[in-house]
Amino acid sequence: MATDSRTWFYTTPEARPYFIEERVNHTLWKNRLANIYMSCTQAEPPIKMEGRWQGEIPVYFEWIPGKYFIMRAGEESKELIGVMRQILMMRPSFMYQDSDGMHVVEWQVDPDARWRELQGKPQYQGLKRLQKK
Protein backbone atom coordinates (compact mmCIF):
# COMPACT_ATOMS: atom_id res chain seq x y z
CA MET A 1 0.00 0.00 0.00
CA ALA A 2 1.48 3.33 -1.06
CA THR A 3 0.62 5.81 1.64
CA ASP A 4 1.77 9.11 3.06
CA SER A 5 0.48 11.77 5.45
CA ARG A 6 -2.11 12.92 2.90
CA THR A 7 -4.08 9.74 3.67
CA TRP A 8 -4.20 10.23 7.44
CA PHE A 9 -3.13 13.75 8.44
CA TYR A 10 -4.21 16.06 5.63
CA THR A 11 -7.51 14.21 5.19
CA THR A 12 -9.57 12.51 7.88
CA PRO A 13 -9.05 8.75 7.67
CA GLU A 14 -11.87 6.28 8.02
CA ALA A 15 -12.44 5.76 11.77
CA ARG A 16 -11.25 2.15 11.76
CA PRO A 17 -8.18 1.42 13.91
CA TYR A 18 -6.71 -1.18 11.56
CA PHE A 19 -6.83 1.17 8.56
CA ILE A 20 -5.23 4.00 10.54
CA GLU A 21 -2.50 1.66 11.83
CA GLU A 22 -1.83 0.37 8.32
CA ARG A 23 -1.52 3.86 6.82
CA VAL A 24 0.61 5.35 9.59
CA ASN A 25 2.92 2.34 9.99
CA HIS A 26 3.49 2.06 6.23
CA THR A 27 4.29 5.76 6.09
CA LEU A 28 6.80 5.40 8.94
CA TRP A 29 8.42 2.32 7.39
CA LYS A 30 8.59 3.92 3.95
CA ASN A 31 10.47 6.84 5.54
CA ARG A 32 13.27 4.74 7.10
CA LEU A 33 11.72 4.01 10.53
CA ALA A 34 11.59 0.24 10.20
CA ASN A 35 11.94 -0.41 13.93
CA ILE A 36 8.64 1.12 15.07
CA TYR A 37 5.08 -0.17 15.27
CA MET A 38 2.17 2.02 16.30
CA SER A 39 -1.24 0.77 17.50
CA CYS A 40 -4.36 2.91 17.22
CA THR A 41 -5.99 3.46 20.61
CA GLN A 42 -8.58 6.04 19.47
CA ALA A 43 -9.83 6.20 15.87
CA GLU A 44 -11.98 9.34 16.24
CA PRO A 45 -10.33 12.78 16.34
CA PRO A 46 -8.22 13.44 18.20
CA ILE A 47 -6.73 10.23 16.82
CA LYS A 48 -4.34 8.53 19.24
CA MET A 49 -1.68 5.89 18.73
CA GLU A 50 0.94 4.33 20.93
CA GLY A 51 3.92 2.13 20.30
CA ARG A 52 7.59 1.48 20.86
CA TRP A 53 10.55 2.61 18.83
CA GLN A 54 13.70 0.48 18.76
CA GLY A 55 11.88 -2.00 21.00
CA GLU A 56 12.09 0.06 24.17
CA ILE A 57 11.34 3.78 23.68
CA PRO A 58 7.65 4.59 24.24
CA VAL A 59 6.11 6.79 21.53
CA TYR A 60 2.64 8.35 21.45
CA PHE A 61 0.94 10.20 18.60
CA GLU A 62 -2.12 12.42 18.84
CA TRP A 63 -3.60 14.47 16.03
CA ILE A 64 -6.61 16.16 14.57
CA PRO A 65 -6.33 15.85 10.80
CA GLY A 66 -5.24 19.08 9.15
CA LYS A 67 -4.85 20.93 12.48
CA TYR A 68 -2.12 19.53 14.71
CA PHE A 69 0.12 16.54 15.36
CA ILE A 70 1.72 15.87 18.77
CA MET A 71 4.46 13.30 19.26
CA ARG A 72 5.50 12.26 22.78
CA ALA A 73 8.55 10.04 23.20
CA GLY A 74 10.50 8.61 26.10
CA GLU A 75 13.62 10.41 24.90
CA GLU A 76 14.57 13.11 22.43
CA SER A 77 15.52 11.75 19.02
CA LYS A 78 16.58 14.05 16.20
CA GLU A 79 16.11 11.13 13.80
CA LEU A 80 12.49 10.58 14.82
CA ILE A 81 11.74 14.33 14.75
CA GLY A 82 13.41 14.72 11.35
CA VAL A 83 11.50 11.84 9.79
CA MET A 84 8.18 13.14 11.17
CA ARG A 85 9.03 16.58 9.76
CA GLN A 86 9.46 15.00 6.32
CA ILE A 87 6.31 12.91 6.66
CA LEU A 88 4.15 15.85 7.76
CA MET A 89 5.80 18.17 5.23
CA MET A 90 6.18 21.01 7.75
CA ARG A 91 8.55 22.21 10.43
CA PRO A 92 7.73 21.38 14.05
CA SER A 93 6.21 24.26 16.03
CA PHE A 94 7.23 23.55 19.65
CA MET A 95 9.35 21.29 21.78
CA TYR A 96 9.17 20.73 25.54
CA GLN A 97 9.19 18.15 28.29
CA ASP A 98 5.85 17.34 29.88
CA SER A 99 5.05 16.55 33.52
CA ASP A 100 5.48 12.80 32.84
CA GLY A 101 9.07 13.38 31.69
CA MET A 102 8.20 12.69 28.05
CA HIS A 103 9.88 14.64 25.27
CA VAL A 104 7.11 16.37 23.28
CA VAL A 105 7.20 17.86 19.78
CA GLU A 106 4.16 19.57 18.29
CA TRP A 107 3.38 20.41 14.70
CA GLN A 108 0.64 23.05 14.57
CA VAL A 109 -0.99 24.40 11.42
CA ASP A 110 -1.89 27.58 13.37
CA PRO A 111 0.72 27.74 16.16
CA ASP A 112 0.02 31.17 17.73
CA ALA A 113 -2.99 30.24 19.87
CA ARG A 114 -1.29 27.06 21.10
CA TRP A 115 1.88 29.01 21.92
CA ARG A 116 -0.11 31.33 24.18
CA GLU A 117 -1.75 28.29 25.80
CA LEU A 118 1.59 26.59 26.56
CA GLN A 119 3.52 29.61 27.86
CA GLY A 120 3.90 30.06 31.58
CA LYS A 121 2.54 26.65 32.58
CA PRO A 122 4.94 24.74 34.84
CA GLN A 123 3.99 21.32 33.41
CA TYR A 124 5.71 22.29 30.12
CA GLN A 125 9.44 22.43 30.95
CA GLY A 126 12.04 23.80 28.54
CA LEU A 127 9.41 25.12 26.13
CA LYS A 128 10.94 26.20 22.81
CA ARG A 129 9.23 27.71 19.81
CA LEU A 130 10.74 26.20 16.68
CA GLN A 131 8.83 28.16 14.01
CA LYS A 132 9.28 31.87 13.55
CA LYS A 133 6.20 34.06 13.78
Average pLDDT for residues 43-63, to the nearest whole number?
A: 96
Give the C-alpha distances (Å, rounded to integers) separating 109 from 13, 27, 94. 18, 20, 12
Across the chain, what does the average pLDDT equal? 93
Greatest CA span in the chain, whole angstroms?
A: 44
Q: What is the pLDDT of residue 15?
A: 94
Query: CA 43, 47, 48, 52 torsion: positive or negative?
Result: positive
39's CB contacts (< 8 A; 6+ apart) are: 17, 21, 49, 50, 51
Q: What is the pLDDT of residue 73?
A: 97
Q: Which of these ranges, 35-44, 78-87, 113-122, has the smallest mean pLDDT? A: 113-122
Average pLDDT for residues 20-27, to the nearest whole number?
A: 96
Give the C-alpha distances (Å, rounded to integers) separating 16 from 8, 12, 47, 80. 12, 11, 11, 25
Q: Would you place residue 133 in the very low, low, confident or very high pLDDT band (cuts 50, 70, 90)?
A: low
The length of the chain in residues reads 133
Nearest to 57 by CA among 102, 26, 87: 102
